[in-house]
Chains A and B, each alone.
Chain A
Amino acid sequence: MIRGRRLLSQHGAERLTACILALIAAGVLAESLRLELSRGVQPGPGFFPALVAGILLVLSSLWAVQGARMPASGDSLGLLKDATFPEPGDQEGSTTPEELTDRSVNARQAKILAFAVLWALVPILLLTAIGFTLTMTVYVSGLLLIVGRTSRVWTVPLTFVGTVLVGIGARVVGIYLPEPTDYLTLLGL
């Protein structure tokens, strides 16, 4: 059986995450020690973070060791696994049409997830620059078009109307969203 692009097993991913956590804990511990651990007889600003980082370092090391001891069950992470391609005569690795469909759905879902994460940069980067209405129209209609596969004709205008209504609603409850041009005031709203 030829293994496809299986990037990481569940235990491998857990060990990797545990190591990253251990590194973060070590960094926090070092920074906490730089801050004062005590001021006279009183605990200093570094006391509590050092204590917590030390515990995290121990726990993440234990997690990594525990992960290493676990038998490799082969249950890969849902998003990282890919198809297992069978060789001729390889009964164990034979793939049913349902399984293939399931895996292709997984691949699509992984793409959707990646898109949703990257697309989150739109509001983060544009909200204060071009304002709430335009940013949210781009952001939400992009999600609707790609994730929801909605109509290209209606999505953008309807999202724009919805965004304007939400902007008015937000203003009613006292939330002032950034707008370079205060067109709501210009419209008497």
Chain B
Amino acid sequence: MDLINDLLLGFQHILTPTIILFAVLGCALGMLTGVLPGFGPPAATALLLPLAFVLEPTASIVMIAAIYYGSMYGGTITSVLLNIPGEVSSVATGIDGYQMTRNGQAGKALSIAAVGSFVGGMLAVVGMVFASQLAELAVNLTYIDIFGLSFLALMLVIGLAGRSLIKGLISAVLGLLIGTVGLDHFTGTPRFTFGSVELTGGISYVAVIMGIFGLAEILRNLTAKQPVDFSSNIGSLRLSRRDLRDSVGSMGRGTVIGFFFGLVPGSPAAASAFTSYAVEKRVSKTPERFGRGAIQGVAGPETANNALGISNFIPLLTLGIPSSSTMAILLGALLINGLQPGPLLFTQNPEIAWGLIASLVLSNVILLVMALPLVRLWVSVLRVPTGILYPVVLGVMTIGAFAINNSVFDVGIMWVAGLVGFVFHKFEIPLAPLALTLVLGPMLESNLRRALSLNADLGATLLANPIALSAFVLIGVIFAVKAVTAVRRRVRRSGGDQGGGIPTEQASSKADTE
């Protein structure tokens, strides 16, 4: 009963004309940026993160969550119409979605994707309401426990983000180093400021995130081939009873798969979408239709994708641990507003915590209402040449970066970060670990230093805190599994080379860099 009251409190807090307007605006902006070829949720939320500075806390959190939500559907539009996924998780949707477009059923594919997103999102919110009880258990965590759990989340992200453990770790360590620039929070000593006044306040993670995700994406697109032409005739959006009947099971299975994948930090969204796709193909009585425009091949992965997007919020809200780069950006938005996500958020700012959960329901409804009537508008955005679209986006980004501190220094930081992000992409270095450590870094450092100040013997501290100890044991297991996999792969590769086989390792690595 308490849970229902809490959720009602959240609705009470957000159901005001202003907040609803910001949620609608957020969904629209999210879809608009999501349809830009190559722009996924991290880039879309990073691009619009400066809004968190100018809006009041609830409005900014609701709007950024809505942007995230809208951008997920925007990515689906490009995936279905152009077979250019806005994000890796939309790749699975595009397999049958694009085939449906080629069969003249683009409208139907977009409709079932919207309905699947709605169902997956709503059911995942129900799961999230119950999972919020984790926060009560997390209140008693010690500094070393929080450090251990944050570190575990980070290692999971690194372990699952890319093919190379070394590159993932380098990305994470660079984020930690950037976080050390500025005044030391404990002693007030300037670190790596080189006498610069701007650096004394630290490097703005908003500018860095805008650079590595948003700007790097634009630079990539400026140097990529133009999207192929496509037909703007998307056909009827109406779904028949049979379409819905065929998709109901796929949506149910997709929700369960996406929800549980989303609870694991670093779990790639693509993995849940592809698992859902594989399950649908396996349970189907007509598996031969998959890859040729099967509606279940769109409904399952798309539902899983949205359920994962919602359950990703659970580790963030209950433990304060972001489980993906987009969640790290959302964590940044909460921190900008002076809110510390984690167990105390539900007791100290229940209206914000429950307001955010309620806003996900609101965004779900808005998205369902807006997505289909406006789909032709989003399709027309795809017709604007990138040579015109991206300069305008660059102009908006420059204003956003400037607005962080009213300083051109942050514009420069954004550009440097953008180039770093571009180089990271070229070298297949995952960006998610950097985004996570950039935001988590100061928290990791302060928790470690506090824990060591209380007891300098790290071993004894760990033994006294079983949660932290378990986290470090799990980290050890992850490293061991990763090392064994790498050795096996190398042995297999060398065996293949001796047999005259051609190594094909690098083919799929591009997707891992996201």
Residues of A with Cβ closer than 8 Å to B?
Answer: 10, 13-14, 17, 21, 28, 31, 35-36, 39, 41-49, 52-53, 55-56, 59-60, 62-63, 66, 75, 77-79, 105-106, 109-110, 112-113, 116-117, 120, 123-124, 127-128, 132, 136, 139-140, 143-144, 147-150, 162-163, 166, 170, 173-178
Closest to B220 in A: A113
Closest to A172 in B: B54
A109 touches B224 (CB 8 A): yes
Residues of B with Cβ closer than 8 Å to A?
Answer: 51, 54-55, 166-167, 169-170, 173-174, 176-177, 180, 184, 186-187, 189, 191-192, 218-219, 222-225, 385, 387-388, 390-392, 394-396, 398-399, 402-403, 406, 408, 411-412, 415, 419, 423, 426-427, 445, 448-449, 452-453, 456, 506
A140 touches B394 (CB 8 A): yes
The CA of A49 and the CA of B186, in the complex, are separated in Å by 14
The CA of A90 and the CA of B223, in the complex, are separated in Å by 30
Q: Which of B187, B388, B427, B456 contacts A144 (CB 8 A)?
A: B388
B166 touches A123 (CB 8 A): no
Count A-B contacts at CB 8 Å: 152
The CA of A109 and the CA of B453, in the complex, are separated in Å by 53
A35 touches B189 (CB 8 A): yes
Q: Quick one: which of A41, A105, A120, A128 has the most chain B CB within 10 A?
A: A120
CB of B214 to closest CB in A, whole Å:
13
The CA of A166 and the CA of B398, in the complex, are separated in Å by 12
A124 touches B385 (CB 8 A): no
A56 touching B224 in the complex, CB below 8 Å, given contacts A127-B402, A176-B406: no
| CB-defined contacts of B219 to chain A, threshold 8 Å | 113, 116-117
| CB-defined contacts of B448 to chain A, threshold 8 Å | 43, 48
| CB-defined contacts of B186 to chain A, threshold 8 Å | 42, 45
B399 touches A175 (CB 8 A): yes
7 tightest CB-CB pairs across the interface, nearest first?
Answer: A148-B387, A143-B391, A45-B184, A109-B223, A45-B189, A140-B395, A148-B388
Q: Decide if the interface of chain A is mainly helix, strand, loop or mixed.
A: helix
A144 touching B391 in the complex, CB below 8 Å, given contacts A123-B411, A173-B54, A175-B403: yes
B427 touches A13 (CB 8 A): yes
B391 touches A59 (CB 8 A): no
CB of A75 to closest CB in B, whole Å:
8
A56 touching B387 in the complex, CB below 8 Å, given contacts A35-B189, A41-B453, A43-B452: no
CB of A68 to closest CB in B, whole Å:
13
